[in-house]
Chain A
Amino acid sequence: DSGVTQTPKHLITATGQRVTLRCSPRSGDLSVYWYQQSLDQGLQFLIHYYNGEERAKGNILERFSAQQFPDLHSELNLSSLELGDSALYFCASSVSSGNTEAFFGQGTRLTVV
């Protein structure tokens, strides 16, 4: 158990809908990263938050947004869902934004039908 909690574990929804994925980082970790992993693909970096502030943005679609709350948990919002958004969404946390490894949650498997 990495200490990073993601909910829900599985999510099935229809095209055009909006969903929210939730991540609770390890206790004491200030950094939260979101990644998307499509079937048989590598991890694609979406966005990084540090202590409530956005620090880096990857190839994140405009239909997607995220935030980190004062209690350091984070939410990834996906709207106007398309079939191609079906993927595993991982959250990772680390102590700081510096030279420390990131620990991953178990992911949320999103299926858009």
Chain B
Amino acid sequence: GQNIDQPTEMTATEGAIVQINCTYQTSGFNGLFWYQQHAGEAPTFLSYNVLDGLEEKGRFSSFLSRSKGYSYLLLKELQMKDSASYLCAVRALLAGTGTASKLTFGTGTRLQVTL
């Protein structure tokens, strides 16, 4: 099966930088996604990593180390609107199915941005 761990809650100050970590254990790894979810709303896609290294997209960056089963999401120049849950999701190929895969989400990290 798959196991995904993220911190439950984090707090950071407006304008600061915060790093949200995610560790995972899975077989058939086929990509890692980060999503943002505001309370009661649908998750929205932030970033995708399938190879080791850093992917940068504006104020958001995501890093992946497949050998360590580790990823982080880096948020810079924090704004109040960044207060949300951040979900780490791992895609894994299903054995014996060819291209079929399953996207499994962690329970999310609730980020509170304060003044």
Q: Interface on A for B, CB 8 Å cutoff?
A: 2, 33, 35, 41-43, 45, 48, 50, 55-56, 58, 88, 90, 92, 96-99, 101-107, 109
Contacts and interface: CB of A to CB of B under 8 A. Distances in A.
Contacts of A96: 99
B100 interface: yes
Given A96-B99, A104-B44, A45 B91 contact: no
Given A55-B94, A55-B97, A99-B91, A104 B50 contact: no
Q: How large is the interface on B (under 10, 10 to 19, 20 to 34, 35 or more residues)?
A: 20 to 34
Interface of B: 30-31, 33, 40-45, 48, 50, 87, 91, 94, 97, 99-108
B65 to A, nearest CB: 18
B42 A90 contact: yes
A35 B105 contact: yes
6 contacts: A2-B44, A35-B105, A56-B101, A99-B31, A101-B45, A102-B103
